[in-house]
């Protein structure tokens, strides 16, 4: 086996061990739909079920924590667990932003800047730690946590 062939086999093996899906067109369609569902569901819970913004945030934050524990403990990619966590991240993210704007008077411009800086800091820390930002090498718990 040549070096290039060995590297290709190694890359495929690592890719099959990844706990995240490949970012195909279908991935992005599902991701956009999950984000939309997350925002709509957060609003539904907070208003229609009369939980209120703060209580809804606590409840959904607890569900997100549980989903993340299950995701991290999973030995392989499990689509239902992965996408549940994605939807819950969208729900909780929406609720956090709503709390900041509605309860604390933080402008959407400010939250956008703060969250963008936090994302940039995450990418910098991820790269400094792992020397890659490749989603094709999410094969360790540490990389999964950054992802």
pLDDT tens for residues 97-130? 999 999 999 999 999 999 999 999 999 999 999 9
What pTM does this model have?
A: 0.79
With respect to residue 53, please indicate whether it lies within any of the assigned structural domains. Answer: yes
With respect to residue 21, please indicate whether it lies within any of the assigned structural domains. Answer: no
Q: Do 38 and 101 sit in the same domain of this protein?
A: yes
Q: Do 101 and 112 sit in the same domain of this protein?
A: no
Range of the domain at 58: 26-105
Kindly write down the DSSP assignment for every residue of 17-86, as one continuous string: H-SS----HHHHHHHHHHHHHHHHHHHHHHHTT--HHHHHHHHHHHHHHHHHHHHHH-SS--HHHHHHHH
Tell me the pLDDT of the chain averaged across its residues.
Answer: 85
């Amino acid at each position: 086996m040549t070096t290039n062939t060995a590297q290709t086999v190694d890359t495929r093996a690592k890719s099959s061990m990844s706990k995240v899906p490949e970012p195909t067109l279908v991935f992005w369609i599902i991701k956009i739909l999950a984000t939309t569902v997350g925002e709509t569901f957060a609003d539904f819970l907070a208003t229609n079920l009369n939980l209120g913004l703060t209580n809804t945030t606590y409840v959904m934050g607890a569900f997100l924590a549980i989903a993340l524990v299950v995701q991290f403990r999973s030995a392989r990619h499990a689509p239902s667990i992965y996408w549940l966590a994605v939807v819950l991240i969208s729900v909780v993210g929406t609720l956090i932003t709503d709390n900041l704007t509605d309860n604390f008077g933080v402008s959407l411009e400010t939250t956008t800047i703060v969250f963008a800086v936090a994302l940039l800091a995450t990418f910098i820390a991820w790269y400094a730690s792992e020397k890659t930002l490749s989603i094709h090498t999410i094969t360790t718990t540490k990389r999964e946590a950054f992802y």
